[in-house]
Amino acid sequence: MAITMEELRKQFYEHLQQANAAEAFEELRVRYLGKKGEVTGLLKNMGAIAPEMRKEYGAKVNALKEEVEASIKSRIEEAHAKELEMRIAATERYDLSLPSTLSEGSYHPITLVQREVEQIFASMGFAIEDYDEIVDDYHCFEALNIPKHHPARDMQDTYYLSNGQLLKTHTSAAQNAIMHKYGAPLRAIFPGRCFRNESTDACHENTFFQMEGIMIDENISISNLIYFMKTMLSEVFQRDVKVRLRPGFFPFVEPGFELDISCAICGGKGCPSCKNSGWLELCPCGMIHPNVLKAGGIDTDRYTGFAFGLGLTRLAMMKYGIKDIRDLNSGNLRALDQFVK
């Protein structure tokens, strides 16, 4: 006698109980539901069933088939879920406190300050120029109304080179070339590295950065100069900077000024940083000397202009509180690696 449906069901559940791996489930599926499977095989008994009972019998076999199928599927899912749970439980918990292996780079502080100032002037329509570090006597002095034997040449201890050239002592050395390049009207800034032959200490470096700016147009006046200086410095220091001009002598400007800004430390009341004056001397400036304009090929009857020089090195030191100027050229990463943007 063939196995009954109930016996088969019982047997299936016994087998299912024992199965625990993916292959075993597949084996069960083939054994019971495959073409030659045992559940499928029940249909072969159809002939032994009374005709009026056959419909009912068929439905029962199909129900068993679905039941077996669903049971296997459920066990597979169950096993899968269990396995997943075990895998997750076994997964390593990563130590987020471990140090980073990605190295973070750093900019030189001069780069950061220079970019900041450049952006301010770019936003006001100034061209940003770049010039040689090695120049000739003409560009560094003659063209700037500093003739030979002028005491101003003593003020700047110049590095002279074996090939007859010199290291530029100030960014003004670019003025002439830039005037010739653009002609008037003109507004440009030109940051650059300058050199002075002096011994170094915490406050003095033989290699430092300046930024020069010039603006030339019809009717450029001292009032305009004050405006641009005040606007630029207020942007740089992120506060409303008060400025004042004093007479200052620089051969390439006339009139020439020393520009002071209100001392940020004491707010203008007077403190040791500003020698109790409430003011900090910050940048020399002035109306470009007609001889300098002429040397630059600019028509002095039509155009006037102003020029200013800003000590980028000094600005960086003020901004970041760097006390020893020599840190800047030291190449010491323990000091320099903190300047990130």
Partner 1 sequence: MNVSMNWISDYVDLSGLDIDDLIHRFTLSTAEVEDVYHLGTEINGVVVAEITKIEEHPNSKKLHLLELDLGDHTDRCVCGAPNVRVGMRVPFAPFGASVVGMTIGEATIAGVVSRGMCCSAAELGIADSSSGLLELPEDAPLGKQIKELYAFEDTVFEVDNKSLTNRPDLWGHYGIAREFSAIAKRPLKPLDLDDLTKYDALDPVPLGFIDPELCYRYSAIRADHIQKTVSPIDMQIRLYYCGMRAISLLADLTNYVMLELGQPTHAFDSRMVGTIGVQRFPETFAFKTLDGTERKIDPETLMITSDNHPVAVAGVMGGENSEIVADTDSVTLECATFSAVSVRKTSSRIGLRTDASMRYEKTLDPELCAVAAGRFLKLLKGIDPEAKVVSRYTDCYQYHYPQIELHFTKAFVDRYTGIDIADAQINDTLSRLGFDVTEDNSVFDVKVPSWRATKDVTIPADVIEEITRIYGYDNFNIETTMSALRPVKPLQVKADEAAVKDALVKTFGLHEVHTYLWCDAKKLSDLKIPLPENVRLLNGMNPDATILRTAMMHTLLPVLKENRFYAPSFGVFEIGRTVKGQKPDGTANERRTLGVALLSHDKERTVFLSARDMIASILFDIRRQHPTFERVEPINAWEHPANTAAIILDGKTIGTISTVHPEVAAEIDKKASLVTLELDMDSLAEIKEADLKYREASRFPGIDIDLSFVVDKDVTFRDVTGPFFEDRDETLIGISLVDIYEADVKSMTIRLSFVSPNKTLQKAEVQAYIDRILKVLAEKNIRLRTV
Q: In the window 127-186, what residues touch partner 1 (CB under 8 A)? A: 127-130, 132-134, 136, 149, 151-152, 154-155, 159-165, 167, 185
Q: Report the C-alpha dihedral over residues 81, 87, 89, 90, rounded to 10 degrees.
A: 160
What Cα–Cα distance (Å) separates residue 334 from each residue in 109, 330, 338, 341? Answer: 13, 10, 8, 17
Q: What minimum distance in Å lies between the beta carbon of 184 and partner 1? A: 10
Check if the beta carbon of residue 127 is closer than 8 Å to that of residue 182. Answer: yes
Check if the beta carbon of residue 273 is closer than 8 Å to that of residue 263. Answer: yes
Q: What minimum distance in Å lies between the beta carbon of 321 and partner 1? A: 18
Residue 217 sits in the site that holds partner 1 (CB under 8 A): yes
Binding window for partner 1 (CB under 8 A); candidates: 1-9, 35-43, 73-81, 246-254: 246-254
| Residues in contact with partner 1, shown as a per-residue x/- string from 79 to 118 under the rule CB under 8 A | -----------------------xxxxxxx-xx---x---
Question: Which among 123, 129, 231 has a CA at the least distance from the CA of 190?
Answer: 129
Provide the residue type at 250 as one letter. Answer: F
Residue 223 sits in the site that holds partner 1 (CB under 8 A): yes
Taking CB under 8 A as the criterion, which residues in 251-270 touch partner 1?
254-258
Question: Which among 133, 205, 209 has a CA at the least distance from the CA of 173?
Answer: 133
Binding window for partner 1 (CB under 8 A); candidates: 18-26, 45-53, 63-71, 119-127: 119-127
Residues near partner 1 (CB under 8 A), total: 82
Taking CB under 8 A as the criterion, which residues in 263-322 touch partner 1?
275, 287, 289-291, 304
Q: Which residues of 111-134 are buried (b: 16+ CB within 10 A; e: fewer)?
A: ebbbebbeebbeeeebebbebeee
Residue 241 sits in the site that holds partner 1 (CB under 8 A): no
Taking CB under 8 A as the criterion, which residues in 27-66 touch partner 1?
none
CA 33 to chain centre: 65
Taking CB under 8 A as the criterion, which residues in 182-211 touch partner 1?
185, 187, 193, 195, 197-199, 207
